[in-house]
Amino acid sequence: KWIEGILIRLSYQSRGKAEKGLLLDLIEKVSGYSRIQIKRLVKKYLKTGRIKRRQRTLKGFSRKYTEEDIRLLAQT
């Protein structure tokens, strides 16, 4: 949301190439994101007009062993 606000407030789309680079530098230093990640977010903003965070998945893989299996393996 902060990055989206900066892009809107400083009218990113109407800036020249040099000024856009300076804005990307500012966002990079303040946010801690990498340059390529900022470019991806800006590209998404230019395409959709919004930057929406995606919800990450909590568990990518299902468990192979149950708690009971782990206890039995630890005993051997």
Model pTM? 0.61
Mean pLDDT, the chain, whole residue set: 86
Query: Does any domain span residue 59?
Result: no
Query: Does any domain span residue 36?
Result: yes
Domain ranges, residue 39: 1-53
∠ at Cα 51 (56, 53), nearest 5°?
10
Query: Does any domain span residue 1?
Result: yes
Query: Does any domain span residue 4?
Result: yes
Query: Does any domain span residue 22?
Result: yes
pLDDT in tens, 51-76: 777 666 666 677 788 889 888 888 87
Environment class of residue 68 by beta-carbon count within 10 Å: exposed (0-12), middle (13-18) or buried (19+)?
Answer: exposed
CA dist list (Å): 70 to 18, 28, 60 = 58, 44, 20
Domain count, the chain: 1
